[in-house]
Amino acid sequence: MSTRKHRRSRGKRRNIFIIFLVTTLLLLLGIGSFSFFQYEEGKSLSQQEMNLFTQNKTTTKKQSFEKKNTISKEPENHEPVNILLIGTDKSNGGLARTDTIMIAQYNPLNGESKIASIMRDSYVEIPGRSNNKINAAFAFGGVELLQETIQHNFDIDIHYYAIVDFGGFVQLVDTIAPNGLPIKIENRMYDPSNAIDFLPGQHFLDGDETLNYVRFRKDHENDFGRVRRQQEVISALKNELFTVSGLVKLPKLIGMVEPQIETNIRKTKMLSLSHDVMLNPITDIKTLRIPTDDGFEDAYFPHAGSVLKLDLPKNALEINNFFANENDEETNPT
């Protein structure tokens, strides 16, 4: 595994870990009707947080998030649904950009869920542009070009997208896990510039501490460690959410999340998926990181800087095998 160091501003780390959770909440929107009061309470809390950066967010949407028809095809016959999950950040006066690219899949027939994280520095072919880091595709052409880039390089069909900013994450964690999110820390995590000092052992992290845990990168793993912790926190939040007490909080959580997400998932599809999730709950989330350990090399290009130069055929095969429908594999053995 590479140990190279990336140079990034601290402000871009906050959005990476909430995306799959946010999408899951949206898929469960249909069961929120039993508690309108909680929904409005959550929405009010979220709106207070959103007011701090409404102007910047509105400008970003006008420039970069103009909706188009980016659905490659509608999933049919209860086939697995693939959702492109994008975490965004906007520097002062700069273009909207993404430091988080994930593909989440939910199989409505059996509740199987998968999430593949594509590292932001992956060097890929961007249609109509020179090769560059994959997150440059979003800066160049928004969600449309990013989706096209993923399909071009990895041959993965994307049915829907969800664009999320970082607002409200601390509130979400504290609402889902009021007694703290259980996380086992293997090695000391120390970064005084960000007020991070976690000792090894079992911890119950509140929202602020969870934010720091996921943002940490001052060790030999760098961005690779961040991706691993992102997926770990998603799994821990899922475990807290899919309990009796957690499900009761869903309407409030959905109200908090709704102002902070942009998606082309139709409400009728959300209702259909929420019904499927209730029949086949998410019990486990399988994860993959692209590039794989043996599927890249460190490289440098003047126009892109330090990158992860992918073995594209190897990584495309890995991600396609990862998302393959196991029922299809059994029906059509090779």
The 3-class secondary structure across 206-255, one letter per residue, is: CHHHHHHHHHCCCCCCHHHHHHHHHHHHHHHHHHHHCCHHHHHCHHHHHH
Higher pLDDT: 161 or 91? It is 161
What's the confidence (pLDDT) of residue 185? 94
Mean residue pLDDT of the chain comes to 76
Residue 156 located in a structural domain:
yes
pTM for the model stands at 0.73
Compute φ and ψ for 272, nearest 5 degrees. Answer: -65, -45
What's the confidence (pLDDT) of residue 166? 61
Whether pLDDT at 71 is above 90: no
Q: What is the CATH number of the domain that holds 135?
A: 3.30.420.590
What's the confidence (pLDDT) of residue 23? 55
Nearest to 171 by CA among 31, 44, 35: 44
Q: How many domains does the chain have?
A: 1
What's the confidence (pLDDT) of residue 316? 97
Confidence of residue 231 (pLDDT cuts 50, 70, 90): confident
Whether pLDDT at 191 is above 70: yes
What's the confidence (pLDDT) of residue 116? 95
What's the confidence (pLDDT) of residue 181? 95
What's the confidence (pLDDT) of residue 302? 96
Q: How far apart are CA 48 and CA 231, in angstroms?
A: 28
Q: How far apart are CA 277 and CA 271, in angstroms?
A: 10
Residue 227 located in a structural domain:
no
Residue with tokens 């993965």: 156
Q: How far apart are CA 238 and CA 191, in angstroms?
A: 27
Q: Where are the alpha helices (DSSP H) in 99-218?
A: 134-154, 169-176, 207-215
Nearest to 13 by CA among 105, 120, 92: 120
What's the confidence (pLDDT) of residue 56? 47
Residue 110 located in a structural domain:
yes
Residue 104 located in a structural domain:
yes
Residue 244 located in a structural domain:
no
Averaged pLDDT, 46-64: 46
What's the confidence (pLDDT) of residue 207? 87
Residue 182 located in a structural domain:
no
Domain range for 127 is: 10-175+250-323
Whether pLDDT at 106 is above 50: yes
Compute φ and ψ for 25, nearest 5 degrees. Answer: -60, -40
Higher pLDDT: 164 or 70? It is 164
Confidence of residue 96 (pLDDT cuts 50, 70, 90): low
Residue 331 located in a structural domain:
no
Q: Is 161 helix (H, G, I), strand (E, B) or coil?
A: strand
What does DSSP assign to residue 17? T
Q: How far apart are CA 274 and CA 29, in angstroms?
A: 6
When computed from its CA atoms, the radius of gyration of the chain, rounded to whole angstroms, is: 19
Pseudo-torsion of CA 256, 260, 266, 270, nearest 10°? -40
Q: Name 156's Cβ contacts closer than 8 Å, sequence gap at least 6.
A: 82, 103, 150, 319, 320, 323
What's the confidence (pLDDT) of residue 97? 63
Pseudo-torsion of CA 156, 162, 166, 170, nearest 10°? -100
CB atoms within 10 A of CB 83: 25
Averaged pLDDT, 301-313: 95
Residues 13/214, Cβ–Cβ less than 8 Å = yes
Tokens of 268: 């009728």
Residue 68 located in a structural domain:
yes
Nearest to 16 by CA among 166, 138, 210: 166
